[in-house]
């Protein structure tokens, strides 16, 4: 396993957009640009990314997740799309198939955020898991496919004065990455304030 919360190593983020039509070139993918834009704004510590654009195919999704964790050694893997009730929506099944541990709180909070906007949020089936190998671990999160929903899910909801109304899921991600042996993640607090117990907070670099 990596040294706990290694501050010297850049965070490796795997980004997977799951879409039959975008992967076939029918229209331009929106998920990967939305993720890249948000992380460019939110993270103040070093990070690098690996991207995949794949169809709604369970075997392809499983393969991409395994490669990103086991071979590319990503610390965080985020998928967009394929989490609804339609027959071709199989991202949660593929995610659970490669998991070592389930992290149900993330999915619960994602639906709570989306319910602030649409009642159909209860149809979403996003999950979060940990995948572990003998010397590495990664957090895998399923996000919705729309750029607006991606931002809301990660960042949460704020009032007109900028005060947090509903916490986004990313507030809990840096400490989770600490606990599974990844690098120490720092954020721009005006976008997303990472929460850690006081004993786990390090002085600003």
Q: Is residue 180 part of a domain?
A: no
Q: Is residue 162 part of a domain?
A: no
**Please, which pLDDT band fits residue 6 given cuts at 50, 70 and 90?**
low
Q: Is residue 108 part of a domain?
A: yes
Q: Is residue 111 part of a domain?
A: yes
Report pLDDT for 204: 75
The total number of structural domains in the chain stands at 1
In this model, does residue 2 exceed pLDDT 50?
no
Report pLDDT for 8: 67
Which tens digit of pLDDT belongs to each residue from 97-154?
999 999 999 999 999 999 988 999 999 999 999 999 999 999 999 999 899 999 999 9
Can you tell me the distance from the alpha carbon of 16 to that of 32, in angstroms, rounded to the nearest whole number? 7
Q: Would you state the structure tokens that stand for residue 49, as one six-digit string?
A: 């990314």
Q: Looking at residue 110, which CATH number applies to its domain?
A: 3.40.980.10
Report pLDDT for 1: 45
Q: Is residue 54 part of a domain?
A: yes
**Please, which pLDDT band fits residue 5 given cuts at 50, 70 and 90?**
low
Q: Is residue 131 part of a domain?
A: yes
Task: Write down the pTM of the prediction.
Answer: 0.93
Q: Is residue 171 part of a domain?
A: no
Containing structural domain, residue 93: 12-155
Q: Is residue 161 part of a domain?
A: no
**Please, which pLDDT band fits residue 28 given cuts at 50, 70 and 90?**
confident
In this model, does residue 84 exceed pLDDT 90?
yes
Query: Over pLDDT 90: what percentage of the chain?
Result: 80
């Amino acid at each position: 396993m990596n040294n706990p919360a290694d501050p010297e190593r850049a965070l490796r983020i795997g980004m997977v957009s799951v879409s039959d039509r975008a992967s076939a070139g029918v229209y331009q993918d929106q998920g990967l640009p939305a993720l890249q834009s948000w992380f460019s704004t939110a993270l103040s510590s070093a990070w690098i990314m690996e991207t995949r654009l794949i169809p709604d195919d369970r075997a392809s999704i499983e393969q991409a997740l395994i490669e990103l964790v086991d071979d590319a050694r990503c610390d965080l893997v985020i998928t967009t799309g394929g989490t609804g009730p339609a027959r071709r929506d199989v991202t949660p099944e593929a995610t659970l198939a490669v998991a070592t541990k389930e992290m149900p709180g993330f999915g619960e909070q994602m639906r709570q955020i989306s319910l602030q906007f649409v009642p159909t949020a209860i149809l979403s089936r996003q999950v979060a898991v940990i995948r572990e190998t003998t010397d590495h671990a990664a957090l895998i999160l399923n996000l919705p496919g729309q750029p607006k929903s991606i931002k809301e899910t990660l960042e949460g909801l704020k009032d007109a004065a900028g005060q947090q109304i509903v916490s986004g899921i990313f507030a809990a991600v840096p400490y989770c990455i600490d606990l599974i042996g990844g690098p120490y993640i720092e954020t721009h607090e005006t976008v997303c304030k990472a929460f850690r117990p006081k004993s786990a907070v390090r002085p600003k670099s």
